[in-house]
């Protein structure tokens, strides 16, 4: 399940970067946001980010 969440996060980051590139100067992303998205695509998400996003998925298992 974690690998699916990681793949989804990376896919979303790639889509946001592609949209940013297509929009050019009209994009509303800051350089910091673009850098964070590029880091996410290159290095993957940190494990705490994945676990935080899985909060509601783990609720039923308790």
Name the residue with tokens 């783990």.
58
Q: Which residues contact 21 (CB under 8 A, 6 or more apart)?
A: none
Residue 62 is predicted with a pLDDT of 47
Structure tokens at 30: 């800051």
Give the Å distances, CA to CA, from 18 to 3, 12, 22, 62: 22, 10, 6, 39
pTM of the model: 0.68
Residue 44 is predicted with a pLDDT of 83
* pLDDT tens for the chain, residues 1 to 62: 667 877 888 899 999 999 999 999 999 999 999 999 999 999 887 765 555 555 555 555 44
């Amino acid at each position: 399940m974690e690998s699916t969440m990681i793949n989804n996060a990376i896919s979303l980051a790639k889509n946001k970067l592609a949209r940013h590139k297509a929009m050019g100067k009209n994009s509303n992303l800051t350089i910091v946001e673009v850098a964070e998205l590029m880091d996410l695509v290159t290095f993957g998400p940190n494990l705490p980010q994945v676990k935080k996003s899985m909060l509601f998925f783990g609720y039923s298992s308790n």
